[in-house]
Structures are given as structure tokens and as C-alpha cells.
Amino acid sequence: MAKKDKALYIPPVLSLVVSTLFVVAAIVMVITGAAIGGDQGIPGAYVGLAIILIFFAYLAGAIFSGTLSWMVLETVQGKKTSVGRGLGRAFSKTGSLLIYALVSLVVALLAAELRKDARQQNFIVSIIKGMFASMLQKAWDIASHLALPAIILTKNSFAGAMKEMPEMVKHLPQVLVGGFAFDFVVRWVYLIEVIFGVLMIFLIPYPVGLILGIGFILLAITVTYIFYSFVKDVYFTMLYIDLHPALKKKA
């Protein structure tokens, strides 16, 4: 599919760039707040602004993933697609994507709070809370990837897309492949890239080895993440299209 239209690779790149800018801005906000607050802690205003910036990072990710989903549909339909057309469709669903991003943020905050609280508990409780936090994030990761095509490719609102989840669960094997297999593979790829970069650092004379090693790790992980995001978004979009005859008829 990507061979037909190289523009399909653009949304994941834009998503990473824009989301990273918001995350970096949030980190700067927290660091600034910590410097100003000192022993009294980070002022609430800085925490609030950091959370808002993280929200926009999630929103940017949703918009560009939605852009890719629409471009995939148009490619399947044999149309000449473009980033502009995909963005237009995504922005037409701004209301639903705002809710989508808000839920993503809330889930992330809840999981982070559970892990923070787990560190203050005994060993057994700590493991249980940590597992629950991971399960919560994974459940939303799968649900969000299923919901996004339902929002972008149809007239569904966010609520309408979520109502389709029980029907999607009937196709559990395909859903689990998208939810777990890609993540499992990409973790091993990351590990191999880090090991290779570390070997460069130690085997190549300093400082060339240090520069090349760190550069390789950053570049390799970035490219892998972009490709991973692309494959996962395309997979769930194609799964949604395959399971909905109405969309197939338009192809």
C-alpha cells in the first residue's frame, strides 16, 4: 500500500514531531516550575500547563493517526490521496478527537498514579497495582486503535465508536495481533538497536564512538517508532475496513 502512495508515511512523521514538541514544552514547564517552587514544590499553575501541553500531544497524535486512517481508506478505494485530504477529514471530527485525547490523557494519568502509589505499598500490593496499571493502559491502547477508524471512516461520534467495541471483540485473534504482536516485536528491535549502539560506543575510539553510538541509537529508535506507528495504524484501519461491508462497497 505504501508503495502506491509515499504520502502515507508523512502523518506518522508529523505526529512524532508535533507530539514531541508538546512533550518537550511540558517537561520545560515542569522544570521551570520546580526551579521557581523550590522546596515548596511545583506551583499548581505550572503543573496544570504541563498537563494541558500533554493533552495537546495526545490530540496531535489522534489527528495525525486519523489523517493516516482516511488516507488508507482512500488508497483502498483507488483514489489519489493526500495529507491535506486526510487532515481535512480529521479536523472535521475535532469534537470526537478532543474527547478521544482527553480519555487518553486520563488513562495515562490514572496509570501513572497507580504506579506511584504502588511504590509506597508492600511487595504483593505493589505488583498487583503495577499489573493493573499496565492492563489499563494496554486495554485503552487496543480500544483507542479500534475506535479511531470507527470515528474517522464513518459518521460515528466518539460514543458511537465505543459502542462498536463489543462487536470488534468477536474478532479477538485479529485484535490481539494488533494489540500485542507488534508491541512484542518492536521491544526486541529497540533492545537490539540499543545493544548495537552501546557496542559502537565501546568498540570505536572515543569520542567518535560515543557520537556515533548515541546518534545511531537515537536515529534507529526514531525510525523504528515511526514505522511501528505506521504499521499499527494501518493494520487497525484495514481491520476495520475488512469488517465493515459498507466501507468495502465504496472501494
Q: Distance between CA 23 and CA 20 in Å, rounded?
A: 5
Residues whose CB is less than 8 angstroms from the CB of residue 44 and which lie 6 or more positions away in sequence, other chains included = none
Q: What is the pLDDT of residue 3?
A: 56
Q: Distance between CA 18 and CA 112 in Å, rounded?
A: 23
Reading the chain (251 residues) residue by residue, the pLDDT tens digits are: 555 567 899 999 999 999 999 999 999 999 998 888 777 778 888 899 999 999 999 999 999 999 999 999 998 888 888 999 999 999 999 999 999 999 999 999 998 888 877 677 767 777 887 888 888 888 899 999 999 999 999 999 999 999 888 887 778 788 888 888 889 999 999 999 999 999 999 999 989 999 999 999 999 999 999 999 999 999 999 999 988 867 766 54
Nearest to 191 by CA among 199, 179, 201: 199
Q: What is the pLDDT of residue 1?
A: 58
Q: What is the pLDDT of residue 38?
A: 75
Q: What is the pLDDT of residue 232?
A: 94
Residues whose CB is less than 8 angstroms from the CB of residue 225 and which lie 6 or more positions away in sequence, other chains included = 16, 186
Q: What is the pLDDT of residue 170?
A: 78
Residue type, 212: L
Phi, psi of 12 (to 5 degrees): -65, -35
Residue type, 227: F
Alpha-carbon 157 to chain mean position:
20
